[in-house]
Amino acid sequence: MKTFIRLTAIVRPYFWWMALAALIGFATTGSGIGLLMTSAYIIAKAALQPPMAALQLGIVGVRFFGLARGVLRYAERLVSHNTTFRILAKLRLWFYDALEPLAPARLLHFRSGDLLQRIVDDIQSLENLYTRVLAPPVTAILVALLMWVLAGTYSLQAALLILCFHLLAGIGVPLLTMLLGRGLSVGIMNRKTDQQLLALDLIQGIGELQVYGRLAGHLEEMRSVESAKLQLQRKNAIVEGLQESLTGLLMNGAVLTILWALIPIVSTGAMNGISLAVITLAVMASFEPFIPLPAAVKHLEADRHAGKRLFEILDAKPETSSPAAPVPFPANRAIKIEKLSFTYPGSLTKALDSICFSVPAGQHIAIVGPSGAGKSTITSLFMRFWNSSEGGISIGDVDISLLDPEELRRNISLVSQRTYLFAETIRENLLLAKPDATDEELRKALSQAGLINFASKLDEWIGQHGMKLSGGERQRIAIARIVLQNAPMIILDEATANLDGITEKEVTDTLSSISRGKTMITITHRLKAMDQYDNIIVLDKGKIVAQGVHENLMNREGLYHRMWELQHATPAVLTEVPE
Ligand code: ADP
């Protein structure tokens, strides 16, 4: 119920639009009833062979209601779709607005297929909240009231009997179908989520599944989810069929009952036969708005489930938040890290433990250490994806938590191990860094990044995740983005780790030349060309174990020296001199 109330709060701004659509919906059904009533009037009256003029009223009525029904149906569709699309747009914006601050920290425990399902299908399901859940009962209630008045003018007993049938069709049948179909909608939705997750795993991991001989098992799992979904859909179809038959049965029951109640009145002469025919057909037509009610109950269940899943994400508190009055970005770009500690939620060990170091403006430093030492955690804290547990990071003596996070990220160019490229053209992928860049600027950036041959292919599609490019080319696109962004600080997080030796050297050289004069932090576990750095921080198990320039670190026994020796040892076989 709480979820439903929260959902209705979202659509509340559209109350008047919804009320208008419901009113036109009622007028449409009313015209349908009027059409049948006037038709019955003409047929019954004509059977008595009156003069043509006596049928005029009926003929005008048929024309009026016939035309009105079509026009009103069109107007109702127009208004209700307009309302639905407004609600949908609001829902999507509302969801994206709430989702963005949660990334990436709070979204880590959601699988991407699951998130996709929530963004697409759950919101799509809520789109029907008005048309399929809220509007049908309103129309049904108004029609029941109309019939109460119509039948009540002839007999209170008849009006009461019709009300009973309407209550059975409006409450009894939906309740019965809800009981019989309990869990079916949610079950179908869950199976669809499973299918999406399995399909994503299949597409993204087909290579691994093939190599480890798991493809057949995975396909079997997909088949079993599909058959479980089909089974639920079959049950659902049976319940739907039953519901339609029951509503039809009640309609016929109401017709028979009204005849039973009114024929004695006709016999007494208090009511004429034509009125009996008219009211009987009106009763028949009045059941039309009751047909969608059981489906409304089912949609309500699905919407509550979808709403719960969306609120689950939206209720998560963002890990980091923007300060109410951010401090202007400092002109001094010196970085200072003081007693920085961080523990990931649920982890018992500190990923970073009282780290202290500083980077004077314009200097290039490296943070090195074995895998799991905590190097990337520093980047995440720097980009404000997470908040530090203790201590902090400051730029020009201003703590980064006082800065606007968006401005902070605009001032830092980050290149990670795997550059994310969108399935777009080269141009679109570059404009991400500078949306208003001219073609000339794009070409210059590509040329500086060592991709001069791409300058003439700005509109070439680069494939899903940039599949049509080599690893080196993808990283060079990231470098071109740095050139365009022209931020004063650069963080390279294992930016060349995936490249072969020769490409790595070329990319590193390009990076050194474009980062001249900028403050740069290079995070790496591979010790290459280390003498170019002004300072090297050696990190192990979240702690700084040494720092200094390459030469000094090499003169000491320790982790850095060992890592260097290990990575630069010449295989014995090569040093052996053949006799
Ligand atoms: P490095 O970049 O030096 O390889 P990381 O900074 O990625 O190391 O990780 C430091 C430690 O934090 C590791 O023990 C790692 O398992 C842990 N860790 C990293 N990311 C998460 C996360 N999202 N949740 C929990 N623990 C994490």
CA–CA gap between residue 93 and residue 468 (Å, rounded): 33
Residue 217: both structure tokens together: 């098992």
**CB of 376 closer than 6 A to ligand 1?**
yes
pLDDT on residue 570: 64
Domain match, 155 and 284 both: yes
**CB of 372 closer than 6 A to ligand 1?**
yes
pLDDT one-digit tens code per residue, 525-554: 889 889 999 999 999 999 999 999 999 999
Residue 189 included in any domain: no
**CB of 373 closer than 6 A to ligand 1?**
yes
Domain match, 493 and 551 both: yes
Residue that finishes a domain, picked among 314, 344, 361? 314
Residue 399 forms beta bridges with which residues? Answer: 394
pLDDT on residue 571: 59
Q: Which of 343, 377, 382, 383 to mutate to test the pocket of ligand 1 (most atoms within 8 A of CB)?
A: 377
Domain match, 261 and 402 both: no
Nearest to 413 by CA among 328, 495, 319, 323: 495
Cα–Cα distances (Å) from 562 to 370, 555, 557, in that order, read: 11, 11, 8
**CB of 108 closer than 6 A to ligand 1?**
yes
**CB of 371 closer than 6 A to ligand 1?**
yes
What is the CATH number for 500? 3.40.50.300
Residue 445 included in any domain: no
Domain match, 13 and 138 both: yes
* Residue % of the chain over a pLDDT of 90: 55
For residue 533, the one-letter residue type is Y
Q: Determine which residue's CA is closest to atom 10 belonging to ligand 1.
A: 374
Sheet holding 390-395, edge to edge: 352-359, 335-342, 390-395, 398-399
Residue that finishes a domain, picked among 279, 314, 349? 314
Domain match, 104 and 173 both: yes
Domain match, 254 and 395 both: no
Residue 102 included in any domain: yes
Domain match, 48 and 100 both: yes
Å from CA of 477 to ligand 1 middle: 27
Residue 449 included in any domain: no
* pTM score, whole prediction: 0.70
For residue 360, the one-letter residue type is P
Nearest to 295 by CA among 532, 493, 132: 132
Residue 193 included in any domain: no
Q: Determine which residue's CA is closest to atom 1 belonging to ligand 1.
A: 372
Cα–Cα distances (Å) from 143 to 254, 350, 525, in that order, read: 15, 66, 74
| Ligand 1 atom closest to residue 373's alpha carbon, by position in its atom list | 3
Q: Which of 107, 109, 347 to mutate to test the pocket of ligand 1 (most atoms within 8 A of CB)?
A: 347
**CB of 183 closer than 6 A to ligand 1?**
no
**CB of 345 closer than 6 A to ligand 1?**
no
With beta carbons less than 8 A apart as the criterion, state whether 132 and 302 touch: no
pLDDT on residue 98: 83
Å from CA of 539 to ligand 1 middle: 13
Å from CA of 377 to ligand 1 middle: 6
Å from CA of 376 to ligand 1 middle: 7
Residue 396: both structure tokens together: 């020009």
**CB of 350 closer than 6 A to ligand 1?**
no
| Ligand 1 atom closest to residue 377's alpha carbon, by position in its atom list | 6
With beta carbons less than 8 A apart as the criterion, state whether 527 and 567 touch: yes
**CB of 106 closer than 6 A to ligand 1?**
no
Domain count, the chain: 2
Quote the radius of gyration of the chain (alpha carbons, Å): 36
Q: Alpha helices of 432-554 — where are they, by DSSP H?
A: 439-448, 471-485, 501-514, 550-554
**CB of 347 closer than 6 A to ligand 1?**
yes
Alpha carbon 182 to its chain's center? 26
pLDDT on residue 506: 82
Q: Alpha helices of 325-374 — where are they, by DSSP H?
A: none
**CB of 375 closer than 6 A to ligand 1?**
yes
- Domain containing 542 equals 335-411+487-568
Beta-carbon neighbour count of residue 312 at 10 Å?
A: 11
The phi and psi torsions of 110 (rounded to 5 degrees) equal: -100, 135
Domain match, 299 and 353 both: no
Domain match, 269 and 130 both: yes
- What angle separates helix 135-152 from helix 273-285, to the nearest 10 degrees? 170
With beta carbons less than 8 A apart as the criterion, state whether 400 and 410 touch: no
Å from CA of 512 to ligand 1 middle: 27
Residue 224 included in any domain: no
Domain match, 286 and 356 both: no
Question: What is the CB-side half-sphere exposure of residue 451 using CA atoms within 13 A?
Answer: 29
Cα–Cα distances (Å) from 385 to 52, 93, 364, 418, 420, in that order, read: 82, 22, 23, 18, 17
Averaged in consecutive runs of 10 residues, what is the pLDDT profile of the chain (579 residues)?
Answer: 82 88 92 94 89 88 95 94 87 84 76 77 81 88 94 91 95 92 86 89 89 92 96 93 92 94 91 91 93 87 86 82 90 94 92 95 95 92 91 94 92 88 92 94 91 90 86 90 93 85 82 89 91 95 96 94 87 46
Å from CA of 167 to ligand 1 middle: 61
Residue that finishes a domain, picked among 252, 281, 314? 314
412: helix, strand or coil: strand
Domain match, 547 and 494 both: yes
Residue 369 included in any domain: yes
Residue 189 forms beta bridges with which residues? Answer: none
Domain match, 301 and 405 both: no
**CB of 374 closer than 6 A to ligand 1?**
yes
pLDDT on residue 390: 93
Nearest to 563 by CA among 579, 550, 573: 550
Residue 288 included in any domain: yes
What is the CATH number for 169? 1.20.1560.10
260: helix, strand or coil: helix
The phi and psi torsions of 523 (rounded to 5 degrees) equal: -105, 125
Residue 204: both structure tokens together: 């993204």
CA–CA gap between residue 355 and residue 392 (Å, rounded): 9
| Ligand 1 atom closest to residue 352's alpha carbon, by position in its atom list | 10
Å from CA of 237 to ligand 1 middle: 49
Residue 251: both structure tokens together: 């309609």
CA–CA gap between residue 475 and residue 507 (Å, rounded): 8
